Structure 1
Amino acid sequence: MRIPHFRIKLFLFSFILLFQSSLNIIYSQNDSEKTKSISFKIKLKSDSEVKIKPAALKFNKHFAYSFTLDDGYRSAYLTAFPLLNGGKISNPNKNEWKVDQGGDGTTSKGLYYTDGFGNKIPFKLALAINGGSVRDMPENRGHLSWAEVKEMYNAGWDILNHGFHHATKHGTNYLTEVTENTTSIKQNLNFTMSHFVVPGGEGDEKYYLEYEKEALYNGNFSVASYYGVGPVFKVKSKVDLDKMITARTFVLSSKDTTGFKTMDRYLKTIDSIVKQAEPVWFNEFTHGTGNTNLWNLSMRFPDFKYYMTALAKKYGEKGNDSVWMAPWQEVYEYIWLRDRIKVDFKQKNKEVQVTIELPEIPETFRHKEISLNIGTSSKFEIESSKDLMIKDDGKTTHKQILIHLK
């Protein structure tokens, strides 16, 4: 029997509608699986109006400062880590290269800012390391050991990919440099790096472009390179973090060892950045922090100590407490999350119901916290489920809420 042409068209049209409908159901289910929401209540002491929005920076700070030590030199553990975190700074210590990577032998109480909830947090840096250089021997080695890297990581320092061998010369396999370093850190420290720092050195013209391409293609969210955006970012509104390539700037000691004029110039630059009305994020680098200016690309320890101590006195706990001294990865992940959450709140007299829609957070993210800026003249308390970790300053300054996400 011959089927009329119009019936064939009708059948096909019905099939397409049914197929599209089933796809919409699948997409809706997938979307609901990827996003989730959390909620809690704010109990006010008065019925004054409340305004709630994500804070530009964690802890509602005005200034985020990220500082990275390139190449994984041991001076990071011998001097920088104990100075900032608190502990015994190494005595002068000559390594296998006859270079002094030690410090002044003093004991540091640590350098801190506060979280706004009455807790001190030590200054934290990032390490850009080459897995091929990390080793336990010799005793006077120039590079970090796995145990030292792990201790700093556990203290909140972030680890960035710097290539497995720090290779830059003609013939470098850029893909292998990126992926082998990722594998090395995963095998030895059990986490996956997600940000890349291009190694500096002699190489083919614009070799850094190859590193940028391979790093972004193989799962890194950002790359610090020779040229790019930044290093100062205004963060009041949404920041374009997609496949971010940033310009890398360095803090270096000069040949003049009679004072701290060079460090004062760097500090003056920071002061001009901090004075901007809008909240900002600033990112800088150096190499070694021992007594010798390693490769003339480093900070001598007296300069490093003077510089970091000056920052702490002016912007940290003992100063105006405006700085969030955190590694590049931590600040990046905060801003990424801040720009993707949706905050909704409904107030009825002294009770505020807050609902936050969360995005799907990448598995490699280490830091999953969000600060909310609370605008109210009233003191308050938080009512939430036991599995939601929330801090608030409702009984003191009543300006912020910090949420820890799982």
Structure 2
Amino acid sequence: MSKRILLIIAFLILGSFTSFSNGIIEKDSSKPKTISFKIKLKSADKIKIAVSQLKYNKHFAYSFTLDDGYRSAYLTAFPLLNGGKISNSSINEWKIDQGGDGTTSEGLFYSDGMGNKIPFKLALAINGGSIRDLPANRGHLSWPEVKEMYNAGWDILNHGFHHATKHGTNYLTEVTENTTSIKQNLDFTMSHFVVPGGEGDEKYYLEYEKEALNNGLFSAASYYGVEPVFNVDSKVNLDKMITARTFVQSSKDTTSFKTMDRYLKTIDSIVKQPNTIWFNEFTHGTGNTNLWNLSMRFPDFKYYMTTLANKYGAKGNDSIWMAPWQEVYEYIWLRDRIKVDFQQKNKEVIVTIKLPEIPETFRHQDISLAIDTSSKFQIESNKDLKIKDDGKSTHKQIFIQLK
């Protein structure tokens, strides 16, 4: 039985894993920063306000990472999810087809519950030493390609500068040089690490974990660690998190999608749990060839992601938050540290949120509030804060964007 299935079974048995308006931000650095705004109700019915367990009040978050920065991410995965022209067959420098089926995708989406569609987004675990512009049929991404995906909301994770694993590897240099490389070329600082796989000294991955967590990265995905399925109904221990990594990969069967259906069935079993869940998985390439036999062939990838979108996205029950590891991590970190207070007087509610000191390398600083009221409402605030709500429709949530 595979490691992935064993981990999932353990989780299922044990069940103990752990209209924009404006607002006010208090900027007195001697005190915790606070956000305050006013809710104007149409009726005086009692209101309840709580921090949403996941962004947009979703039932489950699914994070998916492409390891090693292969160009198939840009040629196939990115246009499929974000919308655009998927590459035709594209034979790279290794004589491997990293292209797709040449079709044009409209994109795969979930909604924010307020009338806006959001494309599925993945993460890229990249090695700065492999990113280059030439040759034209290169196997790895270029800096402009990585930047385009980053600007579209994909997150970039540290995977070591050279993907080095063999005896004699300087693990500290691998971690820090990759951080420096991405900072110099893309002007942001990575905050999460994915241990590269390969031949190495016994338990070499422990050295990578240590150097990553000691040098500014908040978490590491590795061979072993806490389970990849998290119950996020309550506070999650994110401090120096090391999580076990599981993979979705194509089989030798190219005549059906039976292998993908088995992976999808596992997700179905997880989603059926009453708990709010965060699930994290990986693969390598997404081109027509099963790269190094550690990847998803594009037909499998397309089937897998399209099925998720049709079942759990905007075209289905809209219960998925399809977002990269970093985005989900940062939401939960902030969720578990803010304090929400509200005072209601008839049809008027004053909401005050105390914020913690947020690390500078956090890219995503958002708060979703779950609203329990039978009344329609609107937000009254000034120009320092962006707020969205569904007060005139389902009146179930407020979304606050801090950055």
TM-score, length-scaled by structure 2: 0.93
1:89 aligns with 2:110: no
Task: Say which of 300, 304, 311 aligns to 1:303.
Answer: 300
| Contact 1:316–1:323 under 8 Å retained in 2 | yes
| Contact 1:113–1:312 under 8 Å retained in 2 | yes
Higher helix share: 1
Q: Which residue of 1 aligns with 2:5?
A: none
Deviations 1:316-373, CA, capped at 9 Å, x for gaps: 0000000000000000000000000000000011001100000000000000100000
- Residue 387 of structure 1 deviates from its aligned partner by 1.4
1:165 aligns with 2:159: no
1:174 aligns with 2:171: yes
Consecutive unaligned residues of structure 2, counting only runs of 5 or more, are 1-27
| Contact 1:34–1:360 under 8 Å retained in 2 | no
Task: Say which of 111, 134, 147 aligns to 1:150.
Answer: 147
Deviations 1:54-107, CA, capped at 9 Å, x for gaps: 000000000100000000000000000000000000000000000000000000
Task: Say which of 356, 360, 365 aligns to 2:362.
Answer: 365
1:385 aligns with 2:382: yes
Q: Which residue of 2 aligns with 1:76?
A: 73
| Contact 1:95–1:142 under 8 Å retained in 2 | yes
TM-score, length-scaled by structure 1: 0.92
Task: Say which of 99, 102, 126 aligns to 1:102.
Answer: 99
Q: Which residue of 2 aligns with 1:293?
A: 290
1:218 aligns with 2:231: no
CA distance in 2, matches of 1:279, 1:271: 13
- Secondary structure of the residue aligned to 2:398 is strand
- Secondary structure of the residue aligned to 2:349 is strand
Deviations 1:232-271, CA, capped at 9 Å, x for gaps: 0011110000000000000000001110000000000000
CA distance in 2, matches of 1:181, 1:32: 33
The total of aligned residue pairs comes to 376
Q: Which residue of 2 aligns with 1:187?
A: 184
CA distance in 2, matches of 1:314, 1:273: 14
**Residues 340-379 of structure 1: matches in 2 within 5 Å?**
340-379=337-376
Q: Which residue of 2 aligns with 1:15?
A: none
1:264 aligns with 2:261: yes
CA distance in 1, matches of 2:108, 2:83: 7
- Secondary structure of the residue aligned to 1:33 is coil
- Secondary structure of the residue aligned to 1:359 is coil
| Contact 1:34–1:359 under 8 Å retained in 2 | no
Task: Say which of 122, 132, 136 aligns to 1:135.
Answer: 132
- Residue 34 of structure 1 deviates from its aligned partner by 5.8
Task: Say which of 26, 35, 39 aligns to 1:38.
Answer: 35
CA distance in 2, matches of 1:111, 1:309: 7
- Secondary structure of the residue aligned to 2:30 is helix
Q: Which residue of 2 aligns with 1:16?
A: none
Q: Which residue of 1 aligns with 2:10?
A: none
Which 4+ residue blocks in structure 1 deviate beyond 3 angstroms? none
1:203 aligns with 2:200: yes
- Secondary structure of the residue aligned to 1:312 is helix
| Contact 1:389–1:404 under 8 Å retained in 2 | yes
CA distance in 2, matches of 1:38, 1:64: 26
- Secondary structure of the residue aligned to 2:46 is coil
Equivalent AA in structure 2 for residue 152 of structure 1: M
Deviations 1:165-185, CA, capped at 9 Å, x for gaps: 000000000000000000000
381-390 or 49-58, larger mean C-alpha shift: 381-390
Consecutive unaligned residues of structure 1, counting only runs of 5 or more, are 1-30
CA distance in 2, matches of 1:317, 1:385: 32
Deviations 1:119-157, CA, capped at 9 Å, x for gaps: 000000000000000000000000000000000000000
Task: Say which of 61, 65, 85 aligns to 1:64.
Answer: 61
Cα root mean square deviation, aligned: 0.8
CA distance in 1, matches of 2:29, 2:174: 38
- Residue 216 of structure 1 deviates from its aligned partner by 0.1
Task: Say which of 241, 244, 247 aligns to 2:244.
Answer: 247
Deviations 1:173-201, CA, capped at 9 Å, x for gaps: 00000000000000000000000000000
Equivalent AA in structure 2 for residue 255 of structure 1: K
- Residue 32 of structure 1 deviates from its aligned partner by 5.2
CA distance in 2, matches of 1:44, 1:388: 20
- Residue 164 of structure 1 deviates from its aligned partner by 0.0
CA distance in 2, matches of 1:328, 1:265: 23
Equivalent AA in structure 2 for residue 397 of structure 1: T
| Contact 1:393–1:399 under 8 Å retained in 2 | yes
Q: Which residue of 2 aligns with 1:236?
A: 233
- Residue 33 of structure 1 deviates from its aligned partner by 2.7
- Residue 230 of structure 1 deviates from its aligned partner by 1.9
Q: Which residue of 2 aligns with 1:331?
A: 328
**Would the alpha carbon gap of residues 77 and 34 (structure 1) be closer, same or farther in structure 2, given more than 3 Å must change?**
farther
CA distance in 2, matches of 1:95, 1:268: 33
Equivalent AA in structure 2 for residue 230 of structure 1: E
